[in-house]
Amino acid sequence: MAQGSYVEKSYERDTRYINDRITADGSGQWPVEPGRYRLVVSRACPWASRLVITRRLLGLEDAISMGVCGPTHDADSWTFDLDPGGLDPVLKIPRIKDAYEKREPGYPRGITVPAIVEVSSGKVVTNDFAPMELDLITQWRDFQRTGAPDLYPEALRHDMDPLMRRIYTEVNNGVYRCGFAGTQEAYDDAYQRLFTALDWLTDHLRTRRYLMGEHITVADIRLFTTLVRFDPVYHGHFKANRSKLSEMDVLWAYARDLFWTPGFGDTVNFTHIKQHYYRVHRDINPTGVVPGGPDLANWAAPHGREALGGSPFGNGSAPGPIAPGERVAAADNPFSGPDGLLVYPGRS
């Protein structure tokens, strides 16, 4: 998760990333090469979840392995406490900070996920999450599965790019500006900007099934990872409380439509999401108590978005089975079946 801090007036995110790129033409230090890199994530983190969804939709599991950190971290680093012995089974390190230190001893900036690590050297290649996501789409095409959707169509980029910038500044980062506002004035401004953007998105999605029209794109992935966390954490913990997502009819139906699309909801770990925010952000929640709610049963309510037409994958197809080591347990997502795929209540 990207770092940030309170400032006198408003929350500022630290965006000083390692911004190397992995390219198909080998023009840089890091060429596309299956098996060379490991994607390190936490399912708690919305920025990392974008990479988890994108990798699954594109079928890049065999080309880029994935390590999953636990949902909490201290001021020093995310750790691999979910793995036997507390070590990542591929990188053989207990914390992602070790890979940052391999890249730059005494690494001075935030220790964040997602990060891509070169397996052989143990060095972080990049933690710049937005280019990482687009590079999985555009640079790793030769290793994507048959039927992988085009998540960043060239013909739509002129309109997509400003839309995604608005989603990032006003919604993805907007909830953080609410939660970490250091003054009433800063909070009021952040609150107004967030719900102005959500109202605009409501109007935008009222007559189109997905943000760019008939098929999912990376823009939908970017919005989904905030929406799926909205009621469990942002509404209460971050004081983004004008309305719950479940009270915003259009966005709520849109979020449920995506949730039940293979590759979206089957990557969501609600337990990790709540544990991270409520236990790590002690400046906001000093007791570290994690709330029991909300009841997640309403995610199974019919969304009715099929009436708008379109199809999630266009000329492509849904992603296949989930590898055993990457499945979310039913204890962490009540709709997760034994194979990790979502099971709609009442259906086998």
| DSSP H helices in the chain | 46-58, 97-103, 129-138, 157-166, 174-179, 184-205, 218-229, 249-259, 270-280
Active centre residues (catalytic): 45, 176
Alpha-carbon distances, residue 296 vs 249, 260, 270, 286, 335 (angstroms): 16, 13, 9, 25, 9
Residue 322 contacts residue 341 (beta carbons within 8 Å): yes
Q: Compute the distance between CA of residue 316 and CA of residue 217 in angstroms, rounded to an integer.
A: 12
Q: Compute the distance between CA of residue 183 and CA of residue 224 in angstroms, rounded to an integer.
A: 28
Look-up of token digits 């004081």: 239
Q: Compute the distance between CA of residue 280 and CA of residue 178 in angstroms, rounded to an integer.
A: 17
Q: Compute the distance between CA of residue 68 and CA of residue 17 in angstroms, rounded to an integer.
A: 20
**242, 247, 243, 235: which is closest to 298 by C-alpha?**
247
